[in-house]
Amino acid sequence: MASRQFEPPSGTRDFLAGALRTREHVFAQIRGVFERYGFEPLQTPAFERLETLTGKYGDEGDKLIFKILRRGEHEATGEADLALRYDMTVPLARVVAGYGSRLPTPYKRYAMGPVWRADRPGRGRFREFAQCDVDVVGSASPLADAEVVCALTDALDAVGLREYRVLVNSRQALSGLLDVYGVPVELGGGVLITLDKLDKLSPDKVAAELVDARSLAPDIAQALVGDLTAPDAVDRMQTALKDSEAGRAGLEEIGRLLELASPKVGEDRITFTPSLVRGLDYYTGVIFEVVAEGMPGSIASGGRYDGLISALGGPDVPACGGSLGVERIIGLLGDDEGAAHRIDVAATVIAEDTASEVMGFAARLRDAGLRTEVYLAASRKLAKQLKWAADRKARFALIYGASDKEAGVITVRDMDSGEQSEVPADELAAYLTGRCAPSR
Amino acid sequence: MASRQFEPPSGTRDFLAGALRTREHVFAQIRGVFERYGFEPLQTPAFERLETLTGKYGDEGDKLIFKILRRGEHEATGEADLALRYDMTVPLARVVAGYGSRLPTPYKRYAMGPVWRADRPGRGRFREFAQCDVDVVGSASPLADAEVVCALTDALDAVGLREYRVLVNSRQALSGLLDVYGVPVELGGGVLITLDKLDKLSPDKVAAELVDARSLAPDIAQALVGDLTAPDAVDRMQTALKDSEAGRAGLEEIGRLLELASPKVGEDRITFTPSLVRGLDYYTGVIFEVVAEGMPGSIASGGRYDGLISALGGPDVPACGGSLGVERIIGLLGDDEGAAHRIDVAATVIAEDTASEVMGFAARLRDAGLRTEVYLAASRKLAKQLKWAADRKARFALIYGASDKEAGVITVRDMDSGEQSEVPADELAAYLTGRCAPSR
């Protein structure tokens, strides 16, 4: 039994080769898509000044910030002055504020990397996990919203997740909805939080919560939940919202997003979904979630949040963006152990005095792009070294004994078939590159 | 003047697109080399349990560890329980201890990523900086030492640094040297620390420090420094060390490393350097540094440290490894702003009702691998949008007006020559991919 002292800290993970390659492959695919859209990468430090982060994530969020103790003589105060990055958005706001006009306008950036939250660790919930965001800062155009939706869904396509649907709504439409149904303004926020549970709870339970916890009149609660969950909810909303200015504006921005994103996403995969709320209260315009069959929750989400950058300390600029649920996506894909990353050539060393020549062969094969390992343990027994070659899943093994040396050849063993061929030293690289699939 | 509150914390950096692309290009080149050698990637968490790190880096090192405050009700104690990664070696020792036989034998791993040290920030010295290590754990073979040297120098070649020399020595040779020159054993450590300054101070100053600070007899200090800095130092050492058992073992391991690494590194680029010491006292066998003309200090270094993994909490296994000075290397290469990452296509939007079609054109170009941006600001004036296309360094701009739509064509403007061509919509991707260099 391994001692707990050798495990990574609670809620964190060591990524060994197989899992790490899967992760990096996913990140590379996503990065490729974002680059094709002209988003620019941004990498900010792992920690920020504590005051940059506090007060930005609500009381609950503040408790989950990892704080870094002052150093040197100040350590004894027990005070913190730095804190680990909690998300990618607050650092973005700081960068937009600090760099100003030195950034392109609009500033389209993507950020991929770890964030840290002192949440209770659980299944699929970590204290160090990757976030993957795209944002457009400085554009109020519906084209920007559409680009965000297209970039995120294109990234899902790129990592092989194609069975998804994009649910679209608008904060303006929701605000019009509350107005039309006569929900008092001061109850609006709480009502939306409860309505957000329509994807998890039955309509009856949601209606009951609206009455019990949100003080809504029973008839209003029933009408609201009934209309939102009706088979013809979209039609009912389109009719109802016509009576509200916010409602009409919301319907228009939803319509525009559907029109602009459909050519890429596909008309059947993107739909107005009146019951979509999204809990976070900083959204101001269109909101969206990407859901996939058989998976609870969303695999991507986002929206327009025109006031957020200034609320986080940046300038007052319109902005929209979204995130991929990249840890969930990686979890769906599993580890890439084995075949995909087998090594090409395992070079055995069966006599001390040929080691230098074997190193030379390995150097030439590596220069030719082949993934080549040299046997580094002490044994000079061939059988033991061929066992190692098999364990390393090598495609070929090299054997270079006294008779090979005399004949100016290297014995190449096909580790799949067991066949051996004698290859002249100066033909070795060509012989093997022709037989190994490109490893990258 | 930008307010300091928007700067990243002291000693850390924001990496915007240009600088970040340079960094990632360097990392990718290095990674490619390490993979060809069969090193496997390992990524450990940003933080470790505090007790995993404390006491591993000496008193000075302990003061530079960033400590993370306990959370929740424990925050008020002002105590820390976690700490940011200080190097890549202690996490490696933990992983080797924890995973044991589930790792390949030997375990050849590379690690690239940030570490954090609360050093006083200065020119080229950061509190968050990247380390890039290769290590072979579980092999006592000189082949392993040679592979480490070859992998690191190969990586330097890959990033375009080719004017370097590899200086080689051995801790056993140094220990034999002290023995032969009659340095009392208890003074040995201090004497080596002073001898390590021979690359910075004059021989006289080093000899004086040996007498004043290390209590060495003046004649011994003179002889030692004189022989180590003589033009024929290698010959003098080879003669002197023959009289010591450790000295002979040291000469042998140096000779073996030179023999095994020379085919790859080149005989003229790797030399026995008797005055090379390397300050860190955990080395047990060969040591090396890679130096480049005109640069103070080293751009890569390492050696064999058979006792280190167990001293750091891991099992008692032989090991060797080395690091690339990757921040220095990146500093030498400069930023990759501009031409290398210009976008391929800037799609203008000159009429609201064609926006959806323009999005569709952009989608097709991105699918064809072209880096394509759509104009996201409010203006519908062509001149303003072409100015934007020029600012974004686009190779081509697309213009799609009412007459284009009627004729079923898109106007493609070559942003370098200013020439415009009308291209049928279904030929657009082929037309542009043929004219844009592959961007990746």
Q: Tell me the per-residue pLDDT of B26-40, one tens digit each, with 9 for 90 and over.
A: 999 999 999 999 999
Residue A137 and residue A148 in contact, taking contact as beta carbons nearer than 8 Å = no
Judged by CB atoms closer than 8 Å, whether chains meet at B143 and A106 is answered as no
Residue B355 and residue A143 in contact, taking contact as beta carbons nearer than 8 Å = yes
Per-residue pLDDT at B339: 45
Nearest to B359 by CA among A206, A146, A294: A146
B2 touches chain A (CB under 8 A): yes
Judged by CB atoms closer than 8 Å, whether chains meet at A9 and B45 is answered as yes
Per-residue pLDDT at A282: 83
Per-residue pLDDT at B341: 65
Average pLDDT, chain A: 92
Judged by CB atoms closer than 8 Å, whether chains meet at B360 and A94 is answered as no
CATH of A342-433, one of 3.40.50.800, 3.90.550.10, 3.40.190.290, 3.30.365.10: 3.40.50.800
Question: What span, in angstroms and rounded, lies between the C-alpha atoms of B351 and B354?
Answer: 6
Query: Which bin fits A303, alpha (ψ -120 to 50), beta or left (φ > 0)?
Result: left
Question: What span, in angstroms and rounded, lies between the C-alpha atoms of A254 and B342?
Answer: 33
Judged by CB atoms closer than 8 Å, whether chains meet at A359 and B44 is answered as no
Averaged pLDDT, A345-358 = 94
pLDDT digits (tens, 9 = 90+) for B215-256: 999 999 999 999 999 999 999 999 999 999 999 999 999 999
pLDDT digits (tens, 9 = 90+) for A131-147: 999 999 999 999 999 99
Q: Which residues of A touch B357 (CB under 8 A)?
A: 263
pLDDT above 70 coverage of chain A, percent = 96
A79 touches chain B (CB under 8 A): yes
Per-residue pLDDT at A294: 75
How many A×B Cβ pairs under 8 Å?
290
Judged by CB atoms closer than 8 Å, whether chains meet at A49 and B440 is answered as no
pLDDT digits (tens, 9 = 90+) for A387-416: 999 999 999 999 999 999 999 999 999 999
Judged by CB atoms closer than 8 Å, whether chains meet at B75 and A69 is answered as no
Per-residue pLDDT at B313: 81
- Third-level CATH fold of B342-434: Rossmann fold (3.40.50)
Judged by CB atoms closer than 8 Å, whether chains meet at A12 and B72 is answered as no
- Is the ipTM higher than 0.85? The answer is yes
Averaged pLDDT, B16-25 = 93
B355 touches chain A (CB under 8 A): yes
Residue B44 and residue B95 in contact, taking contact as beta carbons nearer than 8 Å = yes
Q: Which residues of A touch B98 (CB under 8 A)?
A: 2-3, 6-7, 14
- Third-level CATH fold of A10-333: BirA Bifunctional Protein; domain 2 (3.30.930)
Q: What is the CATH number of domain B12-333?
A: 3.30.930.10
pLDDT digits (tens, 9 = 90+) for A206-238: 999 999 999 999 999 999 999 999 999 999 999
Averaged pLDDT, A299-311 = 91
SS3 B380: coil
B7: pLDDT strictly greater than 60: yes
B181/chain A closest Cα distance in angstroms: 33
B262 touches chain A (CB under 8 A): yes
Question: In chain A, which residues fall in CATH 3.40.50.800?
Answer: 342-433
Question: What span, in angstroms and rounded, lies between the C-alpha atoms of B267 and B249?
Answer: 22
Phi, psi of B396 (to 5 degrees): -130, 150
A68/chain B closest Cα distance in angstroms: 4
Judged by CB atoms closer than 8 Å, whether chains meet at A69 and B80 is answered as yes
Judged by CB atoms closer than 8 Å, whether chains meet at B69 and A71 is answered as no
B203: pLDDT strictly greater than 60: yes
pLDDT digits (tens, 9 = 90+) for B204-216: 999 999 999 999 9
Average pLDDT, chain B: 92
Question: What span, in angstroms and rounded, lies between the C-alpha atoms of B340 and B337?
Answer: 7
Q: Which residues of B touch A126 (CB under 8 A)?
A: none
Nearest-CB residue to B2 (from A49, A79, A98): A98
Predicted confidence band of residue A340 (pLDDT cuts 50, 70, 90): low
Indicate the burial class of B24 (C-beta count within 10 angstroms; 0-12, 13-18, 19 or more): middle
Per-residue pLDDT at B297: 83
Annotated binding site of B: 87-89, 117, 131, 135, 278, 282-283
Per-residue pLDDT at B439: 47
pLDDT digits (tens, 9 = 90+) for B253-268: 999 999 999 989 999 9
pLDDT digits (tens, 9 = 90+) for B336-353: 544 456 899 999 999 989
Per-residue pLDDT at B438: 60
A232 touches chain B (CB under 8 A): no
Nearest-CB residue to A136 (from B38, B64, B376): B376
SS3 B431: helix
Per-residue pLDDT at A338: 44
Question: What span, in angstroms and rounded, lies between the C-alpha atoms of A283 and A13?
Answer: 33
Question: In chain B, which residues fall in CATH 3.40.50.800?
Answer: 342-434
B350 touches chain A (CB under 8 A): no
Amino acid at B372: T
Which has the minimum average pLDDT: A14-18, A244-248, B54-58, B153-157? B54-58
Report the run of H or E that residue A211 belongs to, with start and end: helix A203-212
Cα A341 to its chain centre, rounded Å, is 23
A314: pLDDT strictly greater than 90: no
Nearest to B45 by CA among A366, A128, A429, A261: A128
